Amino acid sequence: MIHFVLLVSRQGKVRLTKWYSPYTQKERSKVIRELSGVILNRGPKLCNFVEWRGYKVVYKRYASLYFCMCIDQEDNELEVLEIIHHYVEILDRYFGSVCELDLIFHFHKAYYILDELLIAGELQESSKKTIARIVSAHDQVVEAAKEEAGSISNIIAQATK
């Protein structure tokens, strides 16, 4: 299973974290620190796997962002690379050629999409189209609720924009 998903920028800034196994806040920040140190320092031509505390971390760099997923020893590393790519393609389709800024200002959207892709650290859906459809359906419900509500709710909804 995937124990956690981590998006780190080349400067070491965290852009997204999702934990499927219990880690305390302290452990979380330690893990992030440790791993970003290891991964950001690896050369470009090396393999995309790092062995770490008895687990494996599969990472892949897209532009300035590193997508990392931590898996068990016996999991299929190549498949996880494919899952990462799958996620990136969905993000790309959703935002329309996604960039790091999209993921900063609309971080919650990145989370919503991830929630349609993975649950309990396992893959949920292999069709990009299905995921795109569900997320946009959710967005529409939110939009509709916003319009329906009076001026006050309008303000609320804007906050999530």
Partner 1 sequence: MNPFFSGTRLSDMIRAIRASKTAAEERAVVRKECAAIRASINENDQDYRHRDLAKLMFIHMLGYPTHFGQMECLKLIASPGFPEKRIGYLGLMLLLDERQEVLMLVTNSLKQDLNHTNQYIVGLALCALGNICSAEMARDLAPEVERLLQFRDPNIRKKAALCAIRIIRKVPDLSENFTNRAAALLKEKHHGVLITGVHLCTEICTVSPEALEYFRKKCTEGLVKTLRDIANSPYSPEYDVAGITDPFLHIRLLKLLRILGQGDAEASDCMNDILAQVASKTESNKNAGNAILYECVQTIMSIEENGGLRVLAINILGKFLSNRDNNIRYVALNMLMRALTVDSQAVQRHRATILECVKDSDASIQKRALELIYLLVNENNVKPLAKELIDYLEVSEQDFKGDLTAKICSIVEKFAPEKIWYIDQMLKVLSEAGNYVKEDVWHALIVVITNAPDLHGYAVRALYRALLRSSEQETLVRVAIWCIGEYADLLVNNAGMLELEDPITVTESDAVDVVETAINHHTSDVTTKAMALIALLKISSRFPSCSERVKSIIGQNKGSFVLELQQRSLEFSSVIQKHQNIRSSLVERMPVLDEATFSGRRAGSLPANVSTSGKSPLSIPNGVAKAAAPLVDLLDLSSDDVPAPTASSANFLQDLLGVDLTQPSAQPGTMQPSKAGADILLDLLSIGSPAPVQNGSTNGDLLSIHENNAPLASIDTISSTSPTAPSSMVDLLDAFGPTPPTSEDKGPAYPSIVAFESSSLKIEFNFTKQPENPQTTDIVATFTNLTPNVYTDFLFQAAVPKFLQLHLDPASSNSLPANGNIKQTMRVTNSQHGKKPIVMRMRVGYKTNGKDVLEEGQINNFPREL
Measure the CA–CA gap between 57 and 39, rounded to whole angstroms. 9
Binding of residue 95 to partner 1 (CB under 8 A) = no
Nearest to 114 by CA among 69, 79, 74, 78: 69
* x/- letters, 5..24, toward partner 1 (CB under 8 A): ---------xxxxxxx-xxx
Measure the CA–CA gap between 20 and 6, rounded to whole angstroms. 11
**Secondary structure E strands in the chain:** 2-9, 14-19, 49-52, 55-62, 65-71, 118-119, 122-123
Binding of residue 26 to partner 1 (CB under 8 A) = no
Binding of residue 34 to partner 1 (CB under 8 A) = no
Smallest gap from Cβ 97 to partner 1, in A, equals 20
Phi (first) and psi of residue 64, to 5 degrees? -95, 5
Question: Closer CB to partner 1, residue 63 or residue 127?
Answer: 127
Residues that bind partner 1 (CB under 8 A): 14-20, 22-25, 29, 43, 45-51, 76-79, 81-83, 85-86, 104-105, 107-108, 111-112, 115, 119-120, 122-130, 134, 137-138, 141-142, 145-146, 152-153, 155-161
